[in-house]
């Protein structure tokens, strides 16, 4: 019960903040589904950062921590719920009606994902080895060690990567602290929420960009990616990282749809900062995102927006990034990257066998990725052959940003493997798919945002449309018009 209350408070803090940035009437709407999903990541990031700051300033006592979290929830709720509606109301994009079977397939994928997740965590409630030996071990130190919490980053525990940032361990330890007991339920619930949030962001943003059909199909594909659900149930930090990468790029898409609303860039910056607070790969993502955005806007001659967006991005990024930098400099242990001698790096770089092994690994993973029975790359290729690409001019900058950012991130991670990892074969076998899965939700967003429209139901001739068969966009417009008419009638 305490865990549920704690997670609800964390989510509420996130929801208050995102609602303060994008206030619209409460109730069931596409806009609020997106805010609900984004709130999971924002709340988790804010709570984890506050936990770390409280630990530094006030020590490991639970009182200061409870006050800090309580105050943040109150402030965020006050900001969020007192804000008056302004800015864009995000709604389903106009498009042809969606057949019933697409919704059913999505529901089936969601049900399978939930059963798979629950089955996996029931069998393995502590998660896979890298989860308990890295993330949960740090959480145990933070929870159990009292004043000696910095022992979690001792060089004697070099194998548990003392330089890894603390979003996930901090969040788990925070739940344990407030609940006053350790439980496996906390990391499991956090993993579940991040998976839910990832699917929520993907479906709601694609719904805004391309309509319900593309959104539901992408959501089905994500939730039916067995490796992704298995990775989530393994309780690693990769799914939270994939959430932040997806959320950042999704917000960049919305930024390009609403260029005057620079709050999208600020929230994207915050999400990118939380990515860096989740895993070291998040730092690579931050650099890749900035490079990609600059290239995209310069290439598409949108230089007027470049400065404005970069400033807002930096404003969102600065707080979490400052915490990451402080952690790296003053708290975390040394990174194994910096302990590798230059001679070894050069030897690795000049060894053609390592490059061949890497290319082989890439080809193999292209066919094995996601544990699909048929290589998903082939299935997607067939899909795009049939549906074709159709990129709207207003989405070009975002697509270029996503493409370059994801490509750069993958390239840098593969290069780091070639340069630093001794047993490259083992690394490819154990972590190659994991790296791709970090990028998978964002890749689905980009792929489906570039896909052509799906005409799945025969168009009705003009004048014969019944209200039940109106296109989604027209239904939305009619609803809004109806609301407006009712308001006018009430005023009269």
Partner 1 sequence: MARYKFAVLSLAAIALISSFWFLLDVLGTATHSTRAFGIAAFEDRFNGFGQTVQPHSVYGYLSDNPPNSPTALAEFHLTEYVLAPAIVKPSASENLVIVNYHTKDLDMKLLRANRLRPFRNIGAGVALCQGEKR
Residue 469, token pair as written in the block: 């068969």
Specify the residue, 124 or 261, whose C-beta has the smaller distance to partner 1: 124
What are the DSSP calls for 337-353, one per residue?
GGGS-HHHHHHHHT-HH
- Could you tell me the smallest distance in angstroms from the CB atom of residue 445 to partner 1? 16
| Closer Cβ to partner 1, 59 or 119, answer by number | 119
Q: Whole-number minimum distance, CB 371 to partner 1, in Å?
A: 5
Closest to partner 1 by CB, 11 vs 192, is 192
Minimum gap (Å) between residue 346 Cβ and partner 1: 29
User: Residue 277 in contact with residue 48, Cβ under 8 Å?
Assistant: yes
Q: Are 193 and 7 in contact (CB under 8 A)?
A: yes
Nearest CA-CA partner of 204 in 352, 346, 34: 34
Closest distance of CB 159 from partner 1, Å: 7
User: Nearer Cβ to partner 1, position 291 or 456?
Assistant: 456
Whose Cβ is closer to partner 1: residue 2's or residue 133's? 133
Residue 441 buriedness (CB in 10 A; 0-12 / 13-18 / 19+): buried
Q: Is 97 helix (H, G, I), strand (E, B) or coil?
A: coil
Q: Least distance from C-beta 151 to partner 1, angstroms?
A: 6
Instruction: Tell which residue, 247, 239, 248, has the closest CA to residue 187.
Output: 239
Contact 99, 457 (CB under 8 A): yes
d(CA 210, CA 449): 6
Instruction: Give whichever of 162 and 361 is closer to partner 1, judged by the CB atom.
Output: 162
Q: How far is CA 256 from CA 50, 212, 261, 296, 395, in A?
A: 31, 20, 9, 11, 7
User: What is the rounded distance in angstroms from the CA atom of residue 7 to the CA atom of residue 14?
Assistant: 11
Least gap, CB of 74 to partner 1 (angstroms): 32
Q: How far is the CB of 142 from partner 1 (least distance, A)?
A: 9
Q: Cβ of residue 224: shortest distance to partner 1, in angstroms?
A: 4
Least separation, in Å, of the C-beta of 386 and partner 1?
4
Q: What is the DSSP string of 162-214?
A: TTS--HHHHHHHHHHHHHTS--SHHHHHHHHHHHHHHHHHHHHHHHHHH-HHH
**Closest alpha carbon to 297 in 446, 409, 398:** 398
Cβ nearer to partner 1, comparing 337 with 426: 426
Q: Is 463 left (phi over 0), alpha (psi -120 to 50) or beta?
A: left
Residue 336 or 360: the one with the smaller Cβ distance to partner 1 is: 336
- Interface residue list for partner 1 (CB under 8 A): 101-102, 105, 108-109, 112-113, 115-116, 119-120, 122-123, 126, 129, 132-133, 136-137, 140-141, 144-149, 151-152, 154, 156-157, 159-160, 213, 217, 220-221, 223-226, 229-230, 370-374, 376, 379-380, 382-383, 386-387, 454-458
Exposure of 220 in the CB half-sphere (CA atoms within 13 A): 14
Q: In 369-395, where does DSSP find H-type helix?
A: 376-387
CB-based contact 71:7 (threshold 8 Å): no
Alpha-helical segments (H) within 83-127: 100-123
Q: Which is nearer to partner 1, 132 or 432 (CB)?
A: 132
* CB 18 within 8 Å of CB 35: yes
Nearer to partner 1, 131 or 321 (CB): 131
Min dist. Cβ of residue 232 to partner 1 (A): 12
Question: In terms of CB distance, is 371 or 486 closer to partner 1?
Answer: 371
The least CB distance from residue 202 to partner 1, in Å, is: 14
| Concatenated DSSP letters of 2-23 | HHHHHHHHHHHHHHHHHHHHS-
């Amino acid at each position: 019960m305490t865990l549920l209350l704690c997670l609800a408070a964390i989510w509420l803090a996130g929801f208050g903040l995102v609602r303060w940035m994008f206030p619209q009437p409460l109730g069931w709407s596409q806009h609020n589904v997106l805010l609900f999903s984004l709130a999971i990541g924002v709340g988790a990031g804010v709570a984890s950062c506050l936990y770390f700051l409280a630990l530094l300033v006030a020590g490991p006592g639970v009182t200061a921590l409870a006050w800090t979290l309580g105050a943040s929830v109150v402030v965020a709720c006050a900001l969020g719920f007192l804000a008056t509606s302004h800015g864009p109301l995000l709604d389903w994009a106009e498009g042809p009606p969606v057949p019933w079977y697409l919704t059913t397939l999505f529901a089936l994928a969601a049900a399978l994902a939930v059963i798979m997740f629950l089955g996996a965590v029931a069998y393995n409630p502590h998660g896979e080895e890298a989860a308990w030996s890295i993330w949960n071990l740090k959480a145990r130190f933070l929870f159990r060690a009292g004043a000696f919490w910095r022992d979690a980053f001792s060089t004697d525990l070099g194998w548990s990567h003392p330089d890894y940032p603390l979003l996930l361990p901090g969040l788990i330890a925070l739940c344990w602290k407030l609940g006053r007991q350790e439980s496996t339920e906390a990391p499991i619930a956090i993993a579940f929420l991040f998976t839910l949030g990832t699917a929520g962001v993907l479906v709601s943003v694609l719904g805004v960009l391309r309509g319900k059909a593309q959104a539901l199909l992408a959501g089905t594909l994500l939730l039916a990616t067995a490796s992704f659900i298995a990775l989530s149930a393994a309780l690693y930090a990769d799914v939270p990282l994939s959430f932040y990468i997806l959320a950042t790029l999704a917000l960049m898409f919305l930024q390009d749809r609403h260029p005057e609303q620079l709050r999208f860039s600020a929230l994207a910056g915050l999400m990118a900062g939380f990515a860096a607070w989740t895993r070291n790969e998040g730092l690579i993502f931050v650099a890749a995102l900035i490079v990609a955005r600059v290239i995209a806007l310069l290439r598409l001659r949108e230089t007027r927006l470049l400065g404005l967006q970069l400033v807002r991005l930096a404003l969102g990024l600065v707080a979490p990034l400052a915490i990451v930098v402080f952690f790296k400099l003053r708290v975390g242990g040394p990174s194994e990257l910096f302990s590798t001698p230059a001679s070894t790096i050069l030897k690795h770089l000049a060894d053609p066998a390592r490059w061949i092994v890497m290319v082989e690994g890439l080809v193999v993973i292209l066919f094995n990725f996601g544990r699909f029975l048929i290589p998903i790359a082939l299935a997607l290729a067939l899909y795009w052959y049939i549906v074709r690409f159709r990129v709207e001019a207003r989405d070009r900058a975002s697509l270029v940003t996503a493409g370059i950012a994801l490509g750069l991130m993958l390239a840098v991670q593969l290069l780091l493997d070639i340069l630093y990892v001794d047993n490259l074969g083992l690394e490819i076998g154990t972590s190659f798919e994991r790296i791709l899965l970090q990028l998978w939700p964002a890749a689905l967003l980009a792929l489906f945002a570039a896909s052509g429209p799906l005409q799945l139901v025969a168009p009705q001739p003009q004048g014969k449309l019944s209200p039940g068969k109106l296109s989604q966009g027209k239904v939305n417009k009619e609803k809004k018009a109806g609301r407006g008419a009712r308001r006018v009638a009430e005023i009269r």
